Amino acid sequence: MSQALHNQAPKPNCHNCRHYFVTWEPQTPHGCRALGFKSLYLPHVQVHRTSGQPCQLYSPKKSRP
């Protein structure tokens, strides 16, 4: 494998983030409360496409008892 693949940080899983929500709107099914947007793509993908940086606001959901 190339060195670039080893240096990449793991992608955040939006489905496990406390800021992620499903909008139920066919054109924009994914949302991020922290950044205040809805998108056709998962928020971490949209953030990376827009800024070139990985999502900085990922926060894992609190586990339920």
pLDDT band at 63 (very low <50, low <70, confident <90, very high): confident
Distance from CA of residue 9 to its chain's centroid?
13
Residue 3 pLDDT > 70, yes or no?
no
- Quote the pTM value: 0.76
Instruction: Give residue 6's pLDDT.
Output: 46
pLDDT score of 7: 52
- Of 23 and 63, the structure prediction assigns the larger pLDDT to 23
Nearest Cα residue to 49 out of 65, 37, 60, 34: 37
Measured distance CA(49)–CA(43) in Å, rounded = 10
What does the pLDDT look like over 5-40, one tens digit per residue?
Answer: 445 566 789 999 999 999 999 999 999 999 999 999
